[in-house]
Amino acid sequence: MSASTSARRWWALPAFAAAIAVSFGYWWWQGRPVSLADVPHPKLHCVSYAPFRDAQSPADPALMIAPAQIDADLALLAQRFECVRTYSTAHGQDEVVPIAAHHGLKVILGAWIGRDAARNEAELARTIALANQYPDTVRALVIGNETLLRRELPPEALGVMLRRAKDGTSVPVSYADVWEFWLRNAPLAESVDFVTIHILPYWEDDPIDIARATDHVRNILAKMTAAFAGKTLLIGETGWPSAGRMREGARPGLVNQARFVREFVAFAEERGLEYNLIEAFDQPWKRGQEGTVGGYWGLYDGARAAKFAFSGPVREVGAWRAYWLATCALGGLALALALSRKARFSRWGWAGYALLAFAAAASMVEHARFVAVTSLGARAWLLGALTLALAAASAWIACEGAARGTLRSGPRASLRAVLERAARPWRTTPEGGLWLGALQAAAVLGAAAICLALAVDPRYRDFPTAAFVVPAFAFALMGATPAADGTEERWLGRILAAAAVAVGVREGPENWQAIGWCATALLLAWPWSGLARAIDWGQRSPNSN
């Protein structure tokens, strides 16, 4: 290697040092302490409680929660709350009332009402019996939760059950639903002692961002007070998720969750409002119904650790140093690869390689975090591992190709060839560029499937941007365009591009998570769209000095 070639290699070092500094700044920003308003009192009013942990789910008819598990939960909640709200007496949850009495907690006792008439009768009878047995502990009965929202019973049938509950016990009786459904079924208020409303800014049809969330609750409460004059109102559910996808400008996050809880509680205390926060503990089973965000409404995580205190600063990412070090290690590995291969880049080529290698490392670390948060069940973990492997393989091939001077050379198998080989795996003679073609096909097909799902049914779906941004850049840099007969590739590239645009339009410009995903999908579609051209980024031939 000549002296001039060796000197050019040193241009990678300042670029790599700059990437380390930028990465440190990014992760420090994610983990910095954010100052928020403190709550006025050390104990809050009430919190929704469901005892399910890990793989436990109310969908399992045979599941019975052990009283010791409930006792441990309520002992913890009694330190920060005055009462708990339950939603059912099934699966051993009727033990909540006597255990709560032991810990000095009050209970807003719920009966789950739905389509199953036999279950409705059992729930109604058990809640009435518990209210009569523990009148000093059961603060109120809530007969039915969002039953009208789910369209499982008409309001007339609910009214009958509510009146039976009122006749059977001396404690106040209510029904709980989203505020809009109370307005649509206002006559039902005649059958309750108080109106229990749910106000969830994140889940509104027009999602409310965190800066306006408490004002939104205030405005809805004023509207409901006017609509149900003479009736006491209970805010039966309000809160904010700590993880999941953005909805327009409403972004889940730990700092935003803490901000909403603290600002709302201060407002409620100032107004003397009765309220219940959703919810005590993260519920993994909800992620199967409501996507990632459904499982992250808890003020405690699934391991029963408090996510944040009610006073003092809050950090979005507590382990930010570990993520930064992991990024540095992966980026350093990619740079070491180029140095060991004695790559021949121009000065700016070395700098560009260092920066892009570090960016790829950062994306893979971010995707690993995404997989850890979003995966539920073996299938989801497998898909997460496969997408991480896709990103790692794409980064490796691009780095290896750049280091060897073969980034844009060599044959690439067409989609048709990849599928033919998959149909005949016993063939032992590999076709040229088969692995590269397979990786590109997997990336484009996977992104297209995700984009089409987001365009048709986006409510509970996340944006796996970090998994696909590395393949997108890798194939764009490699100029991995379709072969002359690549009709399938061109159509798939255009379908992916069209779906990406549809997602961006549907989600709106406020949702930067969606915009990032759309840009990534468009970049991934670009080589297969038939419009791509090779990118010259300063790679030198082996014979240059």
Is the per-residue pLDDT at 327 higher than 90? yes
Collapsing DSSP to helix, strand or coil, 345 comes out as strand
CATH level 3 topology of 45-312: TIM Barrel (3.20.20)
pLDDT tens, 402-426? 766 666 655 566 677 777 766 666 5
User: CA-to-CA distance for 328 and 375, rounded, in angstroms?
Assistant: 25
User: CA-to-CA distance for 490 and 143, rounded, in angstroms?
Assistant: 56
**Tokens 């670390």 -> residue:** 365
The pLDDT score that the predictor gives to residue 424 is 67
**Residue predicted with more confidence, 23 or 479:** 23
User: CA-to-CA distance for 529 and 314, rounded, in angstroms?
Assistant: 45
The pLDDT score that the predictor gives to residue 20 is 92
User: Judging by beta carbons within 10 Å of its beta carbon (0-12, 13-18, 19+), is residue 36 exposed, middle or buried?
Assistant: buried
| Dihedral angle sign, alpha carbons of residues 203, 462, 148, 134 | negative
pLDDT tens, 25-81? 999 999 999 999 999 888 999 999 999 999 999 999 999 999 999 999 999 999 999
Q: How confident is the model at residue 348 (pLDDT cuts 50, 70, 90)?
A: confident
The pLDDT score that the predictor gives to residue 452 is 94
Q: 271 with 231: CB under 8 angstroms?
A: no
Which tokens hold the place of 446?
Answer: 């996977």
User: CA-to-CA distance for 448 and 462, rounded, in angstroms?
Assistant: 14
Collapsing DSSP to helix, strand or coil, 147 comes out as coil
**Residue predicted with more confidence, 433 or 389:** 389
Mean pLDDT value across residues 117-134: 97
pLDDT tens, 181-222? 999 999 999 999 999 999 999 999 999 999 999 999 999 999
Residue type, 404: R
pLDDT tens, 465-498? 999 998 998 888 777 666 655 678 888 888 999 9
Read out DSSP for 278-327?
Answer: S-SB--GGGHHHHHHHHT---SB-TTS-BSS-SSS-EES-TTHHHHHHHH
Task: Provide the 8-state DSSP code for 35.
Answer: -
User: CA-to-CA distance for 98 and 133, rounded, in angstroms?
Assistant: 9
Q: How confident is the model at residue 100 (pLDDT cuts 50, 70, 90)?
A: very high
Task: Provide the 8-state DSSP code for 42.
Answer: S
Is the per-residue pLDDT at 439 higher than 80? yes
Instruction: Look up the pTM and report it.
Output: 0.90
Helices (H) and strands (E) in the chain, counts: 18, 10
User: CA-to-CA distance for 342 and 102, rounded, in angstroms?
Assistant: 72
- Residue 176 parent element (H or E): strand 173-178
Torsion angle of alpha carbons 263, 265, 268, 274, nearest 10°?
150
The pLDDT score that the predictor gives to residue 540 is 42
Read out DSSP for 220-260?
Answer: HHHHHHHHTTTSEEEEEEE---SSS--BTTB---HHHHHHH
Q: How confident is the model at residue 1 (pLDDT cuts 50, 70, 90)?
A: very low
CB proximity list for 335: less than 8 A, separation 6 or greater: 12, 16, 353, 354, 357, 358
Instruction: Provide the residue ranges of all domains of the chain, joining segments of one domain with +.
Output: 45-312, 407-539
Share of the chain above pLDDT 90, in %: 67
Mean pLDDT value across residues 520-526: 92
Share of the chain above pLDDT 70, in %: 88
CA 183 from centroid of its chain's CA atoms: 30
Q: Return the percent helix, strand and coil in the chain, to nearest 5.
A: 55, 10, 35
- Integer-rounded Cα radius of gyration of the chain: 28
For strand 194-198 and strand 138-145, is the pairing parallel, antiparallel, or unpaired?
A: unpaired
Q: How confident is the model at residue 357 (pLDDT cuts 50, 70, 90)?
A: confident
For strand 33-34 and strand 314-315, is the pairing parallel, antiparallel, or unpaired?
A: antiparallel
Q: How confident is the model at residue 526 (pLDDT cuts 50, 70, 90)?
A: confident
The pLDDT score that the predictor gives to residue 537 is 40
| Dihedral angle sign, alpha carbons of residues 164, 92, 244, 262 | positive
CB proximity list for 543: less than 8 A, separation 6 or greater: none
Q: 308 with 36: CB under 8 angstroms?
A: no
Mean pLDDT value across residues 2-23: 74
Q: Which of 183, 192, 101, 105 is nearest to 143 (CA)?
A: 192
C-alpha distances in angstroms, 388 versus 72, 451, 475?
37, 18, 16
User: CA-to-CA distance for 180 and 177, rounded, in angstroms?
Assistant: 8
User: CA-to-CA distance for 78 and 46, rounded, in angstroms?
Assistant: 10
User: CA-to-CA distance for 205 and 207, rounded, in angstroms?
Assistant: 6
User: CA-to-CA distance for 526 and 447, rounded, in angstroms?
Assistant: 13
Read out DSSP for 373-395?
Answer: HH--HHHHHHHHHHHHHHHHHHH
Q: 276 with 234: CB under 8 angstroms?
A: yes
How many residues belong to the chain?
Answer: 545
C-alpha distances in angstroms, 123 versus 317, 385, 394?
41, 42, 55
- Residue 55 parent element (H or E): none
User: What integer best gives the mean pLDDT of the chain?
Assistant: 88
Task: Provide the 8-state DSSP code for 483.
Answer: P
Is the per-residue pLDDT at 158 higher than 90? yes
**Tokens 């930067």 -> residue:** 512
User: CA-to-CA distance for 236 and 216, rounded, in angstroms?
Assistant: 16
User: CA-to-CA distance for 301 and 290, rounded, in angstroms?
Assistant: 17
